[in-house]
A and B are shown apart, each in its own frame.
Chain A
Amino acid sequence: MAIQSPSLDLGAGAAVCATPAAHARGYWQQVARRLRRDPVTLVCAAILLLIVASALAAPWLGLADPYKTSMIRRLYPIGSPNFLLGTDELGRDMFARLIYGGRLSLFMGVTPVALALLIGGTLGITAGFLGGRVNMAIMRVMDVFYAFPSVLLAISLSGAMGAGAENTLLALTIVFIPPICRVSESVTTQVRGFDFVDAARASGAGTLTIVRVHVLGNVLGPILVYATSLISVAIILAAGLSFLGLGVKPPEPEWGLMLNTLRQAIYVNPVLAALPGVMIFITSICFNLMSDGLRAAMDVKA
């Protein structure tokens, strides 16, 4: 769950291997071809697609009402008639809750990384390309956030702001901005040193044009790959915050929160109590394998 420190040579391979933006289409076609030939990545993508699609389409799948409680049918075991995966501590259908749970769990994991990619990426590319004082200012602020272990920062922030999905999203976004910013900065600094940037400048291109045409195409790959590797961390962390009671509030179905409320049932129905964690595990392992596959396909050095 800990955010791995971005190694500084992360972009080296990509910056060299990635073809300049003019040939970008050829590069992406190559990436797509490599991905199509990678069975592990394809299987993971399929599983994730299934989880996401069923979560999104949950209301139309004819599932039981995930909020409907019943005092008489609490903690039915797995395989009960009408309740495929049993019922939880309040008699709600587990299968429906696990499917519905994907909505919030995935949303809470993916959104912070996407937001952090936007903010951290922009900051990092700015710092890397402009260098000098701007770089100093941005990166020193990031150093402050780096002085906190990531989990501690997430928990302290959302703990201080109080429970709730919005606060968790905000806290997680803040946690993921610094690592993405650092990677973006180091990759951009490397790309900026290449001759084609000097050539573009010499032929009169403005800063924005250089960034848009010559830099972005070369840095986005490594940054994107790094960001995808954070998604599994984010999903586990978001579930962890809900597990502590800091994230999503009951009665919403969310995997981390379900693990928490089912903890009282481990003496009655232990397998049932562990089910939501299996969903988190599968999702996170698939995201990790996909990220690895993407890294290999895009030829980014780890």
Chain B
Amino acid sequence: MLLYALRRLIYLVPVAFGVSLLVFALVHLAPGDPISAIVPPDAPKEVVDKLKEYYGFDKPLPVQYGRWLLVTLSGDFGTSIGTGRPVAQEVGSAFGNTIILAIAACLVAFSLAIVLGTAAAYAKSRVVDRLVTSIALVGVSVPHFWLAIVLVIIFSVELGWLPPMGLGPENATGWRLDWPHIRHMILPTIALSVIPLGVMTRTVRSTIKEILSMEFVTALQAKGMNDRQILFHVLKNAAPVCLAVMGLQAGNLIGGSILIETVFAWPGTGFLLNSAIFRRDLPILQGTTLVLAFFFMMLNLTVDVIQTFVDPRIKRG
């Protein structure tokens, strides 16, 4: 077990190296050089050169990469061009806001998906199965940022029940679960949960259906077990596949919440990324992408390791 986790971790090293290379390249994908983004176009050449020297942009690319990697590994992500605050600080406070929304959306989506998917797989009537597959289809097909706008139109503009944007009452910090905060979380949570709901419902339904057709289920029935006892065995067998997809979906929620956060002006990483892009704040863009990618890698690693707990047969690598 520990050995498996360790092996996976070691395997992540080259991937992490590649990720850092890609994130570093982001700055150099930008049109013009990174300095031109922060100086006025009519800045004298000496100033530009001085700045280039200061930031190390006059060195050859491999040297720049090495320096950047060393500095980043020591926990220094640079300074935001927009606010002048350290990138680590900006990303850190935004990350918490993204996480709380992602957790809420995961809870809603996964619990609902497990119930719906299981019900559809067991359903004797076609109506239930059709209904659930339709819900799942809508979940994977709906443009979620549009759904967010529709939710705002219905519940904020027309009915006036829920706030259309923001984290909570003024000076709210998130992570406080009282009604004023939760009120602000409801719409973003719903909008964010539709995709994982659709994907997971499909996964749970097809996995359980496949398991129900296996011989061991027939054997258990022949032994005289009732449906509820068999359900336990079925769920246990469905768990590894579903867990893997859940991990991916959770990661995608955290990395992909930018559209929803933009609609609801939710001050998370996506919102930060969006404003960084339009201010050409490349250090923030780089820092946010790097942190989210590493979180995603760690999440996938954790899911892989948990999977070996649930299903001891998994001995890959």
Contact surface of A with B, Cβ cutoff 8 Å: 1-5, 7, 140-141, 143-145, 147-152, 155-157, 159-162, 232, 236, 239-240, 243-246, 256, 259, 263, 266-267, 270, 273-274, 276-278, 280-281, 284-285, 288-289, 302
Find chain A residues with CB under 8 A from B293 CB. Answer: 147-149, 152
Closest 4 CB pairs of A and B: A149-B255, A277-B146, A151-B256, A144-B18
Among B150, B199, B244, B282, point to the contact of A2 (Cβ < 8 A): B199
Contact between chains at B296 and A4 (CB < 8 Å): no
Q: CA A281 – CA B152 in complex, angstroms? A: 17
Q: Which residue of B lies closest to A280 (CB)?
A: B143
Which of B76-84, B115-123, B273-281, B306-314 interfaces with chain A?
Answer: B273-281
Q: CA A148 – CA B255 in complex, angstroms? A: 8
Q: Which residue of A lies closest to B295 (CB)?
A: A149
Q: CA A226 – CA B105 in complex, angstroms? A: 27
Instruction: State how many angstroms separate the Cβ of B33 from the closest Cβ of chain A.
Output: 13
Q: CA A289 – CA B141 in complex, angstroms? A: 9
Contact between chains at B18 and A149 (CB < 8 Å): no
Which of B22-30, B49-57, B179-187, B217-225 interfaces with chain A?
Answer: B22-30
Among A150, A159, A245, point to the contact of B256 (Cβ < 8 A): A150
- For the A-B complex with A3-B252, A270-B158, A274-B153 known, give 9 more contacts whose Cβ atoms are closer than 8 Å: A2-B249, A144-B18, A144-B22, A147-B16, A152-B255, A276-B146, A277-B147, A278-B146, A285-B141
Contact between chains at B259 and A240 (CB < 8 Å): yes
Q: Which residue of B lies closest to A263 (CB)?
A: B149
Contact between chains at A155 and B273 (CB < 8 Å): yes
Find chain A residues with CB under 8 A from B277 CB. Answer: 155, 159-160, 244, 246
Find chain B residues with CB under 8 A from A273 CB. Answer: 149, 153
Contact between chains at B245 and A4 (CB < 8 Å): yes
Q: Which residue of B lies closest to A274 (CB)?
A: B150
Q: CA A4 – CA B144 in complex, angstroms? A: 16
Instruction: State how many angstroms separate the Cβ of A296 from the closest Cβ of chain B.
Output: 13
Q: Which residue of A lies closest to B294 (CB)?
A: A147
Among B31, B140, B253, point to the contact of A162 (Cβ < 8 A): B31
Q: CA A259 – CA B148 in complex, angstroms? A: 11
Instruction: State how many angstroms separate the Cβ of A156 from the closest Cβ of chain B.
Output: 4
A5 with B248: in contact, given A143-B18, A151-B256 (CB under 8 Å)? yes
Interface residue B103 (Cβ < 8 Å from any Cβ of A): no
Contact between chains at A285 and B256 (CB < 8 Å): no
Find chain B residues with CB under 8 A from A259 CB. Answer: 145-146, 149
Find chain B residues with CB under 8 A from A5 CB. Answer: 244-245, 248
Among A155, A266, A285, point to the contact of B138 (Cβ < 8 A): A285
Instruction: State how many angstroms separate the Cβ of A155 from the closest Cβ of chain B.
Output: 6
Contact surface of B with A, Cβ cutoff 8 Å: 14-16, 18-19, 21-23, 26-27, 29-31, 137-138, 140-147, 149-150, 152-153, 157-158, 195-196, 199, 206, 241, 244-245, 248-249, 251-256, 258-259, 262, 273-274, 276-278, 282, 285, 289, 292-293, 296-297
A-B contact count, CB below 8 Å?
A: 159
Contact between chains at A160 and B249 (CB < 8 Å): no
Q: Which residue of A lies closest to B150 (CB)?
A: A274
Contact between chains at A160 and B149 (CB < 8 Å): no
Contact between chains at A1 and B195 (CB < 8 Å): yes
Find chain A residues with CB under 8 A from B289 CB. Answer: 148, 152, 156
Instruction: State how many angstroms separate the Cβ of A226 from the closest Cβ of chain B.
Output: 14
Interface centre among A3, A161, A244 (most CB of B within 10 A): A244
A1 with B206: in contact, given A160-B26, A270-B157 (CB under 8 Å)? no
Interface centre among B19, B146, B152, B258 (most CB of A within 10 A): B146
Q: Which residue of A lies closest to B21 (CB)?
A: A144
Instruction: State how many angstroms separate the Cβ of B184 from the closest Cβ of chain A.
Output: 18
Find chain B residues with CB under 8 A from A159 CB. Answer: 273, 276-277, 285
Among B146, B273, B278, point to the contact of A156 (Cβ < 8 A): B273
Among B14, B19, B138, B253, point to the contact of A148 (Cβ < 8 A): B19
Find chain B residues with CB under 8 A from A256 CB. Answer: 143
Find chain B residues with CB under 8 A from A7 CB. Answer: 241
Instruction: State how many angstroms separate the Cβ of B293 from the closest Cβ of chain A.
Output: 5
Q: Which residue of A lies closest to B28 (CB)?
A: A160
Contact between chains at B141 and A288 (CB < 8 Å): yes
Among B15, B143, B245, B297, point to the contact of A284 (Cβ < 8 A): B143
A281 with B142: in contact, given A151-B256, A159-B273, A266-B152 (CB under 8 Å)? yes
Q: Which residue of A lies closest to B20 (CB)?
A: A144
Can you show 24 pairs from A to B with CB atoms below 8 A apart? A1-B256, A2-B249, A2-B256, A4-B245, A140-B15, A144-B18, A144-B21, A145-B22, A147-B15, A147-B18, A148-B289, A149-B292, A155-B258, A159-B276, A243-B262, A244-B259, A244-B277, A246-B277, A263-B149, A266-B149, A266-B157, A277-B143, A277-B147, A288-B137
Q: CA A148 – CA B20 in complex, angstroms? A: 11
